[in-house]
Chain A
Amino acid sequence: MPEQSEDAILCQAAQGDGEAFGALYERYVGRIYNYIYYRTGNASDAEDLTARVFYRAMRHIGNYRDRGLPLSAWLYRIAHNLVANWHRDNSRRKEIPLEDSMQGHFTGSHPETDLLQWEERERLMRVIYKLSSERQQLLILKFVEHLSNAEIGQIMGRSEGAVKSLYHRTLLALRDEYENL
């Protein structure tokens, strides 16, 4: 369904059209997976939670009403709630397993440079995982999903200015923590 608008597809999906829901799924599965992957730190939990997000979305898509909140924001909120529950259940933040964290970051041309980059990335990730859930969410939406402050605000239920201010404070905290590590 490439030529149809998202609203039309959403309407069809809400009426139980499987193909329409499939089209929405394909549009967002990568973004939701990315978000959950960086929030949980491992691929298997990311797969499990991504599946749960879409099952929940499928069950409640009939109740979804466009109240100025795009579908993506609705999905991110479902993902955010599930990740929060996951963290509560696990009660401790997980470190990224080695094979997962190295995934896609080795170019293969200069092993030493790659290793240095990987070590720096590991340090940075360790600091990021020490941040509050809200700040982690902000960083992932900004750097992984490349969303604007306005879009992030819609997802987080904050104003654009509040997001900007939170971002500034997050960078300051992150830099201080990184330098003290």
Chain B
Amino acid sequence: MKRAVKSVLKDTSQDFSEFESRLESALKPVSPPDQFVRELRQKLLSQMEEGKRGKKLSTKNLYLLILTGLLSLVLVIATALRLIVSLLLGLKLFSRIRNSRDKKQADQST
């Protein structure tokens, strides 16, 4: 029984080795055309360079955005300060008018 199994295994491995050599000769490596390899390399490198330039531009844009943001913030703060100052001045004027009116009324009553 063992001998029979062994012989079957041996046959299978022999068949496989023959079949493997057929596969070996059928699946031979091929070379890509030189022109294709060269052109693709050039395209890849030029796209990589473009990508780099794009990155540099986007860094520049980022700095510009930060600067614009800061300027806008300064503008908002200045407007708010002006509003506060105007309010305070308005209040002062209002109280001055009231005081003068009170004074006038006091003078009239005396």
Q: How far is the CA of A159 from the CA of B28 in the complex (A)?
A: 26
Given contacts A21-B48, A125-B26, 16 further A-B contacts (CB under 8 A): A16-B52, A16-B55, A18-B49, A25-B40, A25-B44, A29-B37, A51-B40, A51-B43, A54-B44, A104-B30, A124-B23, A140-B27, A143-B26, A144-B27, A171-B20, A175-B15
Q: How far is the CB of B9 from chain A (nearest CB, A)?
A: 12
1/0 per residue B15-27: CB within 8 Å of A?
1100110111111
The 6 A-B pairs at the shortest CB distance, nearest first, are namely: A33-B32, A143-B27, A121-B26, A18-B48, A124-B26, A18-B45
> Which residues of B come within 8 Å of A, CB atoms?
15-16, 19-20, 22-33, 36-37, 40-41, 43-45, 47-49, 51-52, 55
Q: How far is the CA of A139 from the CA of B28 in the complex (A)?
A: 12
A26, CB-defined interface residue at 8 Å: yes
Of residues 7 through 57 on chain A, the ones whose CB sits less than 8 Å from some CB of chain B are 16, 18, 21-22, 25-26, 29-30, 33-34, 37-38, 43, 46-47, 50-51, 54-55
1/0 per residue A115-150: CB within 8 Å of B?
001001100110010000000000110011100000
